């Protein structure tokens, strides 16, 4: 697509189709037209004749992804202040625009902040001038900042009490690990002390500039009127001294390593599993995002293998979604199983996901997915969502992603899809949150089969009384259950149990059950032949072997289990207590390809 730079009142525009300034809106239906001013500001027009209003949205490439810890949440504070001013101005009744004839919404997302207005075509010029004066020419004061900080802090407290917000936050924390704060636009209240008038004004002047902004108009409007006003009113907006493209050079999101699970209680009638994987972003790995779009289309095909299984197991809901941003993305499956088959359904779905590249990625399903994606894409082109997604995936210098993605998806080969599915679904880790009522949680005995458990199990310490080798106490038994569950969720992890004892304890312990168990495992017979002659174990080894046998009985295969033992000398009672324990070490059995490696093309070869 070519741009035109405005140097005189005579305007020449180019789009994918020939465009006449006096054309009717529906002459460019489905083909957003892009304009760029001399100051680098972008305008996008997308007429939709079946609407009765014009919707104007001003986007800035500014959000929590671009913030450092010292100003976390600053983009949201700026949005909060400006939004309050806009709402007050509309409510005052002193302007042509009022709350009666103009609706307004705004949002600070991780990668963008936007301000959205909807009004009749007759008010288009008033709205454009209002946007320019209220947003671009804003000045701030400390009182407004303090008020906004207090408001946002309260909003964060309220969200913490809402189960679905808890679910979303926990998923982000688990999927993106220490990077999750980049995706929390509300900010971190403990860091609000660093947000002041100086830092706010500095960031506003840096990011709220012409070459870091896109103004879109969709719906019913005059293209020539918008173009004329856009040039006359916004060409004087200042531009940044820096190149906004440079703010895309941020640290890659690190991938998940282990599968984790957790439970959130809510007053829902039916329990829901929310299963998430980290996926490519449209900017960080553009080709990977094309695969992701097609994969999601295949997963949404009503005839696909997983959906057939879900139907047979009486699932009330089976939804999949790929949600890309520029730098990262997530793929999710939402399951609402039959209560009587709650865990059974979840485990069956996870089992099937672990072999999707061999079961679902065949020629017929790939072709069916392409047809479904094409149909949905063509339908979306006739809605304002197409323009929104176009801007969302736009690194501000190249708007072609949404204009070329369809052709790219249709060119994908079956072999490439199998490779992508293997790397991003089969090999990649996932996180599962279970949303369930307290009554169902108790009635279905969920905690015995599915509970809050993550890689922190690797830090577990099992403790013992003097000369005792059996696990005792609720805490020890809960840790064993959690470790067992977590290892079942992570079939590519091996575990080593390290047994310890103090020299003051007995040096011989007996258990025919453990000796028989060790004798049945070839590895133990080979490594510890003397054990079977003696018929006893030292306490540190017995402690480790009893945990290993419990894990084996729970379904963890012998090739994933190993143990060590160590005797320590104590000089006092406290040291003696600390020496009676077992610890855990976790190791991946196979290499997980990093997201960074995906982005450099290994996921497509």
Query: Is residue 290 pLDDT above 90, yes or no?
Result: yes
pLDDT at 242: 65
27: pLDDT confidence band, cut at 50, 70 and 90? very low
Find the DSSP H helices in 118-264.
Answer: 124-131, 142-159, 163-176, 197-207, 223-234
| Least confident residue range of 66-80, 234-248, 340-354, 484-498 | 234-248
Query: Is residue 92 pLDDT above 80, yes or no?
Result: yes
Backbone angles phi, psi at 53, to 5 degrees: -135, 160
Q: Is the dihedral of CA 81, 87, 92, 97 positive or negative?
A: positive
Could you read off the pLDDT of 394-434 as tens digits, one per residue?
876 677 899 899 999 999 999 999 999 999 999 889 999 99
Inter-residue contact 307 to 301 (CB < 8 Å): yes
Mean pLDDT over 20-30 rounds to 39
246: pLDDT confidence band, cut at 50, 70 and 90? low
Angle between helices 305-312 and 342-353 in degrees, nearest 10: 170
Backbone angles phi, psi at 468, to 5 degrees: -105, 135
pLDDT at 589: 74
Could you read off the pLDDT of 44-54 as tens digits, one per residue?
999 998 889 99
Rounded to the nearest integer, the mean pLDDT of the chain is 87
Q: What is the DSSP letter of 453?
A: B
248: pLDDT confidence band, cut at 50, 70 and 90? low
183 burial via Cβ count (<10 Å: 0-12, 13-18, 19+): buried
Residue reference for tokens 């320590």? 568
Query: Is residue 251 pLDDT above 60, yes or no?
Result: no
Q: Quick one: CA torsion of 384, 390, 392, 394, rounded to 10 degrees?
A: -160
Inter-residue contact 325 to 281 (CB < 8 Å): yes
Could you read off the pLDDT of 297-335 as tens digits, one per residue?
999 999 898 999 999 999 999 999 999 988 889 999 999
Could you read off the pLDDT of 555-566 as tens digits, one per residue?
999 999 999 999
Q: What is the DSSP letter of 583?
A: E
25-247 and 260-439: identical CATH topology: yes
Could you read off the pLDDT of 195-209 as tens digits, one per residue?
999 999 999 998 999
Residues 57, 388: Cα–Cα separation, whole Å: 9
Q: What percent of the chain has pLDDT over 90?
A: 69
Rg (alpha carbons) of the chain, rounded to whole number: 30
Distance of CA 445 to the CA centre of its chain: 29
Residue reference for tokens 């979604």? 321
CA atoms within 13 A on the CB side of 438: 1
Query: Is residue 244 pLDDT above 80, yes or no?
Result: no
In 3-state terms, what secondary structure has residue 49?
coil
Q: Could you tell me the residue ranges of all domains in the chain?
A: 25-247, 260-439, 454-588
Could you read off the pLDDT of 52-91 as tens digits, one per residue?
999 999 999 999 988 877 788 999 999 999 999 999 999 9
Strands 561-568 and 430-436 come out as unpaired
Q: What is the DSSP letter of 66?
A: G
| CATH architecture of the domain formed by 454-588 | 2-Layer Sandwich (3.30)
**CATH no. of 260-439:** 3.30.830.10
Mean pLDDT over 542-561 rounds to 94
Say which CATH class 25-247 falls into. Answer: alpha beta
Inter-residue contact 135 to 115 (CB < 8 Å): yes
**Neighbour tally for 146: CB within 10 Å:** 14
Number of H helices, E strands in the chain: 22, 15
């Amino acid at each position: 697509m070519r741009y035109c730079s405005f140097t005189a009142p005579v305007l020449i525009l180019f789009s994918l189709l020939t465009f006449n300034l006096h054309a009717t809106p529906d002459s460019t239906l489905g083909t957003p037209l892009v304009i760029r001013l001399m100051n680098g500001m972008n305008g996008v027009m997308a007429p939709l004749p079946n609407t009765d209003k014009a919707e104007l949205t001003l986007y800035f490439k500014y959000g929590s992804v671009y913030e450092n810890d010292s100003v976390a949440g600053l983009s949201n504070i700026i949005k909060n202040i400006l939004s309050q001013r806009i709402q007050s101005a509309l409510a005052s009744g002193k302007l042509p625009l009022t709350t009666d004839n103009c609706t307004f919404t705004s949002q600070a997302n991780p990668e963008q902040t936007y301000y959205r207005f909807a009004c009749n075509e007759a008010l288009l010029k008033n709205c454009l001038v209002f946007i320019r004066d209220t947003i671009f020419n804003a000045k701030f004061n400390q009182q407004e900042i303090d008020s906004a900080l207090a408001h946002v802090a309260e909003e964060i407290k309220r969200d913490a009490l809402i189960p679905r917000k808890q679910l979303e936050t926990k998923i982000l924390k688990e999927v993106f690990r220490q990077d999750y704060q980049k995706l929390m636009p509300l900010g971190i209240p403990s860091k609000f002390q660093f947000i002041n008038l100086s830092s706010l004004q500095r960031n506003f002047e840096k990011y709220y500039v012409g070459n870091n902004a896109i103004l879109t108009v969709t719906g019913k409007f005059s293209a020539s009127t918008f173009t004329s006003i856009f040039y006359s009113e916004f060409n004087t907006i200042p531009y940044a001294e820096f190149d906004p493209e440079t703010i895309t050079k941020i640290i890659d999101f690190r991938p998940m390593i282990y599968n984790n699970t957790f439970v959130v209680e809510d007053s829902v009638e039916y329990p829901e599993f929310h299963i998430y994987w980290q996926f490519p972003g449209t900017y960080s790995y553009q080709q990977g995002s094309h695969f992701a779009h097609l994969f999601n289309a295949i997963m949404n095909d009503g005839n696909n293998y997983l959906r057939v299984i879900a139907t047979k197991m009486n699932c009330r809901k089976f939804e999949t979604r790929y949600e890309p941003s520029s730098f990262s993305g997530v793929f999710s499956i939402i399951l609402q199983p039959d209560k009587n088959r709650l865990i059974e359904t979840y485990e069956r779905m996870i089992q099937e996901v672990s072999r999707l590249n061999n079961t679902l990625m065949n020629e017929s399903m790939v072709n069916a997915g392409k047809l479904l994606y094409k149909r949905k894409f063509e339908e979306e082109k006739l809605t304002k969502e197409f323009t929104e997604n176009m801007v969302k995936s736009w690194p501000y210098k190249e708007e072609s992603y949404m204009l070329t993605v369809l052709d790219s998806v249709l060119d994908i080969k079956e072999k490439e899809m199998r490779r992508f599915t293997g790397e991003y679904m089969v090999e990649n880790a996932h996180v599962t949150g279970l949303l369930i009522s307290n009554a169902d949680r108790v009635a279905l005995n969920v905690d015995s089969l599915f509970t809050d458990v993550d890689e922190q199990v690797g830090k577990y310490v099992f403790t013992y009384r003097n000369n005792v080798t059996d696990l005792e106490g609720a805490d020890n038994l809960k840790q064993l259950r959690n470790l067992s569950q977590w290892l079942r969720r992570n079939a590519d992890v091996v575990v080593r149990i390290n047994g310890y004892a103090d020299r003051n304890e007995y040096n011989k312990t007996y258990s025919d059950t453990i000796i028989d168990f060790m004798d049945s495992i070839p590895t133990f017979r080979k490594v510890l032949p003397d054990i079977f002659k003696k018929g006893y174990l030292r306490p540190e080894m017995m402690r480790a072997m009893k945990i290993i046998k419990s894990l084996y009985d729970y379904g963890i295969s012998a090739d994933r289990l190993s143990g060590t033992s160590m005797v320590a000398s104590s000089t006092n009672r406290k040291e003696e207590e600390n020496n009676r324990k077992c610890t855990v070490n976790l190791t991946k059995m196979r290499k997980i390809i990093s997201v960074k490696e995906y982005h450099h093309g290994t996921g497509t070869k």
